[in-house]
Amino acid sequence: MYYLRGRMVPDMNYEQQHEEDLQRIRGFRLIDDDFMNACFDNNIEDTELILRIILNRPDISVKSVRTQQVMKNLQGRDIWLDIDARDKDDNEFDVEIQRSDKGADRKRARYHSSMLDAHSLRPKEDFSALRDNYVIFITENDVIGKGKSLYRVERRIEETGELFNDGEHIIYVNGADRDSSTALGRLMHDFFCTDPDDMNYQQLAKKARFFKENEEGKAAMCKVLEDMRNETAMNEREKMAKRLIAQGKLSIEDIAEVSELTIEKVRELSEQRSA
């Protein structure tokens, strides 16, 4: 299905597209954003597992977890959290899945940490009420480049070497290190598996198997892919309409016809440009 002038229209190649989607789903891994979002959304048990392994803290007890959560910044750039989790003590965990080295920039980690703080303190609440926050990047490559499986970033007092203990924690997990002799290496192996039968952690395999083999799960993933195609197509049509509006040669009605957008949508884009 796709959109034409705001209406859903059946695609003549639907069966072919559906088979391509199923093939793509079979190749998905937890390191892939869309598949990770599906597997971890509201999934407390699996989120606890990865946090306990990465932080080497078997005591972590997660009370809530959501994927693709937006944090608005009224005076600057918004951020989207891949996995946003809180434990029983209200400490916050932002787990970012990054296949691109650029996406794991150190200053991005700093910005995410600051946004977690900005959204956790209520007006007039004392700064001592700030809970710990953890920004965790799971990366496809060794972006730090020192050959370690894990990099823990903590602020220290230079003159004494002591930890500053301000509650900010940044962690980089090197997804390229899949040493089967360690719990973290086995976890990273699972993040890059396409076949649930090859995964070490059965609870992760169970969720992956649901979206790859169960009819309900496959339908949900196909819907995600369809929505992505529709969003991409809509974005392209809006870009075309904006270019035509800027040229000023066609009427609202003609632009709607050419771009396959509704007249109302073209008028909205035109008003945004004039504002």
pLDDT in tens, 242-264: 999 999 888 999 889 988 889 99
Q: Phi and psi dihedrals of 37, rounded to 5?
A: -55, -45
| One domain, residues 73 and 125 | yes
- In a domain, residue 162? The reply is yes
Listed in sequence order, the residues at least 6 apart from 2 whose beta carbon sits closer than 8 Å to its beta carbon are 8, 9, 11, 229, 230, 233
Q: Which domain holds residue 58?
A: 29-193
Do residues 188 and 257 both lie within one domain? no
Q: Which residue has the higher pLDDT, 14 or 169?
A: 169
* pLDDT, average across residues 169-177: 98
Predicted confidence at residue 3, as pLDDT, reads 46
Say if residue 127 is in the same domain as residue 263.
no
- The total domain count for the chain is 2
- Exposed/middle/buried for 91, CB within 10 Å: 0-12, 13-18, 19+? middle
Structural domain contains residue 204: no
User: Is residue 265 assigned to a domain?
Assistant: yes
Q: Is residue 131 part of a domain?
A: yes
Do 41 and 113 fall within a single domain? yes
Strand-pair category, 79-87 with 7-9? unpaired
Residues 182 and 228 in one domain: no
In the structure, what pLDDT confidence band is assigned to residue 160 with cuts at 50, 70 and 90? Answer: very high
Kind and range of the H or E element at 193? none
Residues 59 and 137 in one domain: yes
For residues 170 and 109, is the Cβ–Cβ distance under 8 A?
yes
Mean pLDDT of 41-61: 97
Asked whether residue 260 falls in the same domain as residue 175, the answer is: no
Task: Report the pLDDT averaged over residues 174-195.
Answer: 97
Q: Is the residue at 189 inside a domain?
A: yes
Q: Are residues 174 and 142 in the same domain?
A: yes
Instruction: Kindly state whether residue 33 falls inside one of the protein's structural domains.
Output: yes
Q: Would you state the pLDDT for residue 11?
A: 53
The partner residues of 85 in beta bridges, in order of sequence, read 65, 93
Domain membership of residue 202 (yes or no) is no
Q: Mean pLDDT throughout 5-9?
A: 48
Helix, strand, coil content of the chain in percent (nearest 5): 50, 20, 35
Query: Is 217 within the bounds of a domain?
Result: no
